[in-house]
């Protein structure tokens, strides 16, 4: 079975999120969504890179120090 594209999954979940708000005003959505996506992204990439932060940072297109800070923020170190 072919998985859905990531953007389709995000879209569906955002639609459910707004439906579940039932008219309430959303708050800090950008920060919430980035936080929800960033942790599994970092976790999977680090596993695929066998824990090599330099390789993972290169794959992600970010500085190694930035990666290390984000791993610490998400308690992945």
- Residues spanned by the domain of 73: 51-77
Q: Is 27 within a domain? A: no
Q: Is 30 within a domain? A: no
pTM of the entire structure? 0.81
Count other C-beta atoms under 10 Å from residue 1's C-beta.
Answer: 3
User: What pLDDT is stored for residue 72 in this prediction?
Assistant: 97
Average pLDDT over all residues of the chain: 96
What's the maximum distance between 2 C-alpha atoms anywhere in the chain? 45
Q: Is 14 within a domain? A: no
User: What pLDDT is stored for residue 37 in this prediction?
Assistant: 94
User: What pLDDT is stored for residue 11 in this prediction?
Assistant: 95
pLDDT in tens, 31-68: 999 989 999 999 999 999 999 999 999 999 999 999 99
Count up the domains in the chain and report the number: 1
């Amino acid at each position: 079975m072919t998985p859905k594209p990531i953007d389709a999954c995000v879209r569906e979940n955002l639609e459910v999120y707004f439906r579940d708000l039932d008219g309430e005003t959303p708050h800090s959505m950008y920060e919430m969504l980035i936080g929800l996506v960033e942790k599994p992204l970092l976790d999977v990439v680090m596993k695929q890179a066998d824990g090599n932060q330099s390789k993972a940072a290169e794959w992600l297109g970010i500085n190694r120090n930035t990666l290390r800070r984000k791993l610490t923020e998400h308690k992945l170190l």
